[in-house]
Amino acid sequence: MIFIITGVSGSGKTTIGSLLSKKTHLPFFDADDFHPKANVEKMTQGIPLDDHDRMPWLKTLAEKISGWENHGGAILACSALKENYRQILQSVPGIIWIHLKGEKPLLEERLLNRKNHYMNPGLLTSQLETWEEPEYGFHLDVSDTPEGLVDKIFQYFDSLNIPAHFGIIGMGVMGKSLALNMAENGVPVAVYNRFVSGKEEKIATTFAADHKEFPLLKGFDDIHSFLSNLQHPRKILLMIPAGAAIDVQIDQLLSLINPGDIIIDGGNSFFEDSNRRSVILEAKGIHFIPMGVSGGEEGARNGPSLMPGGNSNAYGLISPYLKKIAAKDKQGKACVTYVGSQGSGHFIKMVHNSIEYGEMQTIAEVTHLMRKGLKLNPLEIANIFREWQQEGLKSYLLEITADILEVRENDGFLVDMILDEAGQKGTGGWSLITAIQNHIPYSALSEAVTARQLSSKKSNRAELAKLYNHQFRAFAEDKVLILSHLKKAYALTRIINHETGFNLMKEISDIFKWELDFSEIARIWTNGCIIRSTLMEELVDLYKNNDQILKDKKIIQRAKEWKSDLAYIVGLGLQHDFAMPVMSAAANYFFGKIIEDSSANIIQAQRDYFGAHTYIRRDDPEKKSQHTEWLFYKK
């Protein structure tokens, strides 16, 4: 959306444009800043510019306007005194023209009060004579205060009923935050929430009314008005629960929208559902973008990591908006990329969450060992985590755990009052199912899912704890030494968690021919998302030269050094009656991966013994299936 504020010098274009920019969050540009040097010199000397002087300047501005529009819009202050100048500036449709006008004495007074400006006040008369007052746009008498003028511009803007560039359905935690993020980034956004009589009424209109500071945000309680207030092709983002709700919502939309419109599913949908929906929707001419979103409420509000897949042409139409609202990596590049066709965006979000489960469980295991084995209190543990943050183990999840551990309640700590039953919505489990169905090893991360499941059986755990007289036993070994082992064991477990998740992505990418770019996936996970960390930053470069984390030279060096720390900590924990599902599975996954001579020959022999399943001999270059009559050898 482009606003152009026109008027002669002294009419207040810059003041009004800047204030409008502050309220709409669209960037502000002053056309004077784009004059070639020769024009600036002429104006400083009081020589009026002629049309020949203005032409290159106007053409530059027209190009800029197209670029700004492609990036979501802008506000331009430009005298644009003649109609043919304004025609050159009309490089995109739908420009909102605001023409400022005032009495000559008032304008003169303003110009005389100006400092540090190259405009010679003597040029005002020539400008007023040149001005061809247009018949279109909004004409504003500038004698009012800047705030009063901007209010009038908003009233005019409302009366235009300009269609929103983006629509969001679902005003829950994520939908609201993304809507505010868009509005704050200058995107006109319409929001809608379902109407459930007596329960869910006026959610969207109330939300927009509560956020008057964002004039580009409009709320609708009726789906028809919501859809008719969207620019074509419509860009509709669903932020509602995964599963049946998405199918029902899509079905409702299908009867109301047109071919070419774009539906973006930003929830945590299962990727195979997204594959199915992609096929159905594309057959109907509706473009579908299944998009992973990570960062929780805070990320959605201030900059999430976005993982869109699906229709690549439609992605081209929405990418300027996504780039505006996404988090930025260290180089300032938006944490969003086109992931691949169909449900690939939801697939990588699912794996992201699975790594998230693994990372969370690892921190929980480490905390438990420190608390019950080393007898440290939450504040001491938080301090250690903060030290680790400074020592190469920086991650969002470790940081928030330190924050959590510091929250006190009465004489104790809030964390101790939280029931130890972990919830889950599905993404971790879906990753495990996907891995198992496709014969992909997943033990480290699958144990994080199992740990949550075991945790949720609290009453049974309590009963068994009594039967077994379970007690955590404190460690007798040196605390400093244990902490040193623990830090390295934690660091190696994290590497293995990431290896497990990225390996699943590689294998599934090959199966679906998605050609996922792992360096780019790691890059969009370096900020905005829950698993952002310095390790993730390393993976960006690692995946430029390797197809597997465990093949990287630096990783090999660290893993060789830290494997004994991991083995020591797992052994110590188990010997003192701690459950260490992810750390122990990580150790087993690691050794399972790096051992050339595995124990599977025994499995093959057993299978052949009881079921004639056959085996292959190591010394057979043709790898023919063999069977042995094992009973023949039985003594």
Ligand X SMILES: O=C(CO)[C@H](O)[C@H](O)COP(=O)(O)O
Ligand Y SMILES: NC(=O)C1=CN([C@@H]2O[C@H](COP(=O)(O)OP(=O)(O)OC[C@H]3O[C@@H](n4cnc5c(N)ncnc54)[C@H](OP(=O)(O)O)[C@@H]3O)[C@@H](O)[C@H]2O)C=CC1
Catalytic residues: 349, 356
Q: Is 11 in the site for ligand X (CB under 6 A)?
A: no
Q: Which is nearer to ligand X, 11 or 268 (CB)?
A: 268
Among 268, 274, 311, 533, binds ligand X (CB under 6 A): 268
Query: Minimum distance from CB of 537 to ligand Y (Å)?
Result: 22
Per-position b or e across 15-31, b if 16+ CB within 10 A of its CB = bbbbbbbebbbbebbbb
CB of 407 to ligand X, least distance (A): 20
Q: How far is the CB of 317 from ligand X (least distance, A)?
A: 25
- Smallest CA-to-CA distance from 100 within 152, 60, 65 is with 152
Gap between the Cα atoms of 114 and 109, Å rounded: 9
Q: Which is nearer to ligand Y, 146 or 241 (CB)?
A: 241
Length of the chain: 635
Q: Which lies closer to ligand Y via its Cβ, residue 193 or residue 274? A: 193
Residue 245: which of ligand Y, ligand X, none does it interact with, CB under 5 to 8 A by kind? ligand Y
Residues sharing a CB contact under 8 Å with residue 373, sequence separation 6 or more, in sequence order: 472, 473, 474, 475, 482, 572, 573, 576, 578
Smallest distance, Å, CB 355 to ligand Y? 14
By CB under 6 A, residue 174 contacts ligand X: no
* CA dist., res. 276 & res. 282, Å (int): 10
Q: What is the C-alpha to C-alpha distance for residues 441 and 567, in angstroms, rounded to an integer?
A: 20
- Among ligand Y, ligand X, none, what binds residue 530 when CB lies within 5 to 8 Å by partner kind? ligand X
Q: Which does 356 bind (CB under 5 to 8 A by kind): ligand X, ligand Y, none?
A: ligand X
Q: Does 305 bind ligand X (CB under 6 A)?
A: no
How far is the C-alpha of 453 from the C-alpha of 450, rounded, in Å? 5
Choice between 13 and 346, CB closer to ligand Y: 346
Out of 296, 320, 441, 592, name the contact with ligand X by CB under 6 A: 296
Which of ligand Y, ligand X, none has residue 229 at its interface (CB below 5 to 8 Å by kind)?
A: none
Shortest CA distance to 239 belongs to which of 168, 167, 342, 343?
Answer: 168
CB atoms within 10 A of CB 593: 15
3-class DSSP state of 333: coil
At residue 85, what is the residue type?
Y
Part in contact with ligand X (CB under 6 A); list of ranges 185-193, 425-433, 501-509, 537-545 = 425-433
Q: Per-residue DSSP letters for 69-92?
A: HHTT-EEEE----SHHHHHHH--S
What's the order of all strands across the beta sheet hosting 305-308? 217-220, 189-192, 166-169, 235-238, 262-265, 287-294, 305-308
Instruction: Kindly state the tokens that stand for 218.
Output: 């409009």
Q: Between vectors from CA 188 to CA 523 and to CA 208, what angle results, nearest 5°?
A: 105
Is 503 one of the binding residues for ligand X (CB under 6 A)? no
Per CB under 6 A, which region of 124-132, 417-425, 459-467, 496-504 contacts ligand X? 417-425
Decide whether 175 or 345 has the Cβ nearer to ligand Y. Answer: 175
Residue 533 sits in the site that holds ligand X (CB under 6 A)? no
Least distance in angstroms from the C-beta of 531 to ligand X: 8
Across 221-368, where does the E strand assignment appear? 235-238, 262-265, 287-294, 305-308
CB of 21 to ligand Y, least distance (A): 30
- Told to check if 420 binds ligand X by CB under 6 A, we report no
Pairing of strands 408-409, 262-265: unpaired
Residue 330 CB, nearest approach to ligand Y (Å): 23
CB of 542 to ligand Y, least distance (A): 26
User: If contact means CB under 5 to 8 A according to the sort of partner, which of ligand X, ligand Y, none does residue 424 touch?
Assistant: ligand X
Burial 115-128 (b: 16+ CB within 10 A, else e): eeeebebebbeebe
Q: Which of residues 350-409 bind ligand X (CB under 6 A)?
A: 353, 356
Of 427, 431, 497, 527, the one binding ligand X by CB under 6 A: 427
Tell me the backbone φ, ψ of residue 71, rounded to 5 degrees: -100, 20
> Does position 527 bind ligand X by CB under 6 A?
no
C-alpha dist (Å) from residue 31 to 57, 59, 292: 9, 11, 39
Q: Of 261 and 329, which has the nearer Cβ to ligand X?
A: 329
Rule CB under 6 A: choose which of 294, 434, 500, 527 binds ligand X: 294
Q: How far is the CB of 237 from ligand X (least distance, A)?
A: 16
- 311 near ligand X, judged by CB under 6 A: no
* Binding-site partner at residue 170 among ligand X, ligand Y, none, CB < 5 to 8 Å by type: ligand Y
CA distance 566 to 588: 10
Q: Which one of 5-13, 14-22, 420-428, 476-484 is the stretch in contact with ligand X (CB under 6 A)?
A: 420-428
Which structure tokens are listed for 205?
Answer: 């209109």
Between residues 228 and 424, which has the closer beta carbon with respect to ligand X?
424
Work out how close the CB of 347 gets to ligand Y at its nearest, in angstroms, rounded to a whole number.
14
What three-state secondary structure class fits 164?
Answer: strand
Q: How many whole angstroms separate alpha carbon 182 and alpha carbon 172? A: 15
Contact of residue 528 among ligand Y, ligand X, none (CB under 5-8 Å per partner type): none
Q: Does 530 bind ligand X (CB under 6 A)?
A: yes
What's the per-residue H, E or C state across 368-437?
Answer: HHHHHHCCCCHHHHHHHHHHHHHCCCCEHHHHHHHHHHCCEECCEEHHHHCCCCCCCCCHHHHHHHHHHH
Any contact of residue 298 with ligand X (CB under 6 A)?
Answer: no
- List the one residue from 424, 519, 546, 604 that touches ligand X (CB under 6 A): 424
Tally of CB atoms within 10 A around 255: 6
Single-letter residue type at 590:
F
Which residue, 424 or 548, is less far from ligand X as judged by CB?
A: 424
**Closer to ligand Y by Cβ: residue 24 or 268:** 268
In 3D space, the residue among 307, 394, 400 whose CA is nearest the CA of residue 360 turns out to be 400
Which region, judged by CB under 6 A, interacts with ligand X, from 229-237, 418-426, 592-600, 605-613?
A: 418-426
Judged by beta carbon, residue 268 or residue 455, the one nearer ligand X is 268
Contacting residues toward ligand Y, per CB under 6 A: 170-175, 193-194, 196, 200, 203, 239-242, 245, 249, 267-268, 293-294, 296, 425
Q: Interface with ligand X by CB under 6 A: which residues?
A: 268, 294, 296, 353, 356, 423-425, 427-428, 530
